[in-house]
């Protein structure tokens, strides 16, 4: 056996591990291209490739597909952040103006229950605008009443209220990404932060993240084992030469 071929066999598994590592946190187009390349390889060479290579490629393909889902969410969040930037900016200013006005009025009339209730609503409004999830279409707090059919308005209102309730819940728990006090200090979501997440989505994402982490570990371990197995086979060959 030629020394060059031995070296290739020895590092084949580890090389595949490094190949997978370079696609973590990669862009959508890069991931799609690599997925297409592997799918094409499996279609054309499935009958002639060694079993170890097939296992490696199929595991890598699974991991790349899950990484693609994450990359697409990042892209969607970035697109929404840009698309709804202005409306969120104006609604943040409007909600802050309403809060400041009501707070000044309460100073003059500290026992006014109606004002206290309004202030509570304006606090929620501010937290809603700042913490609204970037992966979702932004639902305006102050929509144009003539812009949607009645049926769509009803659906939008239900979804808006769902997010408001989540904001109130996390505010009470102290788990909001950006708290009301921090908003008054001018703080905003970090560029990569997705904002609040609905409980159902959170559970699904947690499950997906767990599966993704497990799959990545499984892939890397599998590829390492392939490399170790090939190295053992090579050492055995050397012994008998």
Torsion sign across C-alpha atoms 164, 169, 171, 177: negative
pLDDT digits (tens, 9 = 90+) for 69-113: 989 988 999 999 999 999 999 999 999 999 999 999 999 999 999
SS3 label, residue 175 = coil
Residues 6+ apart with CB under 8 A from 156: 139, 143, 148
Question: What share of the chain in percent tops pLDDT 90?
Answer: 50
pLDDT digits (tens, 9 = 90+) for 32-65: 999 999 999 999 988 888 988 888 889 889 989 9
Number of residues assigned to the chain: 241
> For the chain, how are helix, strand and coil distributed in percent, rounded to 5?
75, 0, 25
> What would the mean pLDDT of 158-181 be, rounded to a whole number?
96
Residue 202: band (very low, low, confident or very high) from pLDDT cuts 50, 70, 90: low
SS3 label, residue 134 = coil
Residue 3: band (very low, low, confident or very high) from pLDDT cuts 50, 70, 90: very low
**Distance between CA atoms of residues 70 and 63, nearest Å:** 11
Residues 6+ apart with CB under 8 A from 176: 127, 131, 167, 170, 196
C-beta separation of 72 from 208 below 8 A: no
**Distance between CA atoms of residues 152 and 14, nearest Å:** 54
Q: Check: pTM over 0.75? Answer yes or no.
A: no
Structure tokens at 164: 């408001």
Residue 26: band (very low, low, confident or very high) from pLDDT cuts 50, 70, 90: confident
Torsion sign across C-alpha atoms 188, 189, 192, 194: negative
pLDDT of amino acid 89: 96
| Res 175 pLDDT > 80 | yes
C-beta separation of 61 from 36 below 8 A: no
**Distance between CA atoms of residues 30 and 209, nearest Å:** 21
Residue 225: band (very low, low, confident or very high) from pLDDT cuts 50, 70, 90: low
pLDDT of amino acid 165: 95
Torsion sign across C-alpha atoms 128, 133, 139, 140: positive
Residue 235: band (very low, low, confident or very high) from pLDDT cuts 50, 70, 90: low
Q: How far is CA 94 from CA 33, 86, 90, 140, in A?
A: 45, 12, 6, 12
pLDDT of amino acid 120: 96
Bigger pLDDT: 63 vs 238: 63
| Res 2 pLDDT > 80 | no
pLDDT of amino acid 210: 58
Q: Where are the domains of the chain?
A: 7-76+201-240, 85-191
């Amino acid at each position: 056996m030629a020394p060059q071929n031995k070296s290739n066999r020895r590092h084949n598994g580890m090389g595949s591990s490094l190949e997978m590592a370079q696609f973590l946190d990669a862009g959508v187009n890069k991931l799609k291209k690599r997925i297409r390349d592997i799918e094409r390889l499996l279609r054309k060479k499935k009958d002639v490739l060694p079993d170890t290579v097939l296992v490696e490629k199929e595991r890598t393909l699974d991991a790349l597909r899950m990484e693609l889902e994450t990359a697409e969410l990042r892209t969607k969040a970035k697109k929404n952040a840009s698309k709804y930037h202005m409306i969120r900016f104006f609604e943040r200013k409007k909600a802050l103006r309403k809060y400041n006005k009501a707070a000044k009025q309460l100073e003059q009339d500290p026992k006014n229950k109606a004002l206290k209730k309004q202030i509570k609503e304006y606090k929620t409004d501010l937290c809603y605008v700042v913490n609204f999830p970037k992966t979702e279409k932004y639902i305006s707090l102050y929509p144009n009443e003539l812009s949607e059919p009645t049926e769509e308005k009803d659906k939008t209102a239900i979804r808006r209220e769902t997010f408001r309730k989540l904001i109130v819940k996390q505010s009470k728990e102290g788990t909001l990404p950006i708290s009301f006090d921090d908003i008054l200090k001018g703080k905003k979501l970090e560029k990569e932060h997705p904002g609040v997440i609905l409980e159902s989505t959170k559970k699904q994402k947690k499950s997906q993240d767990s599966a993704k982490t497990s799959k990545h570990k499984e892939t890397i371990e599998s590829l390492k084992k392939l490399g170790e197995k090939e190295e053992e086979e090579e050492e055995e060959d050397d012994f008998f030469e």
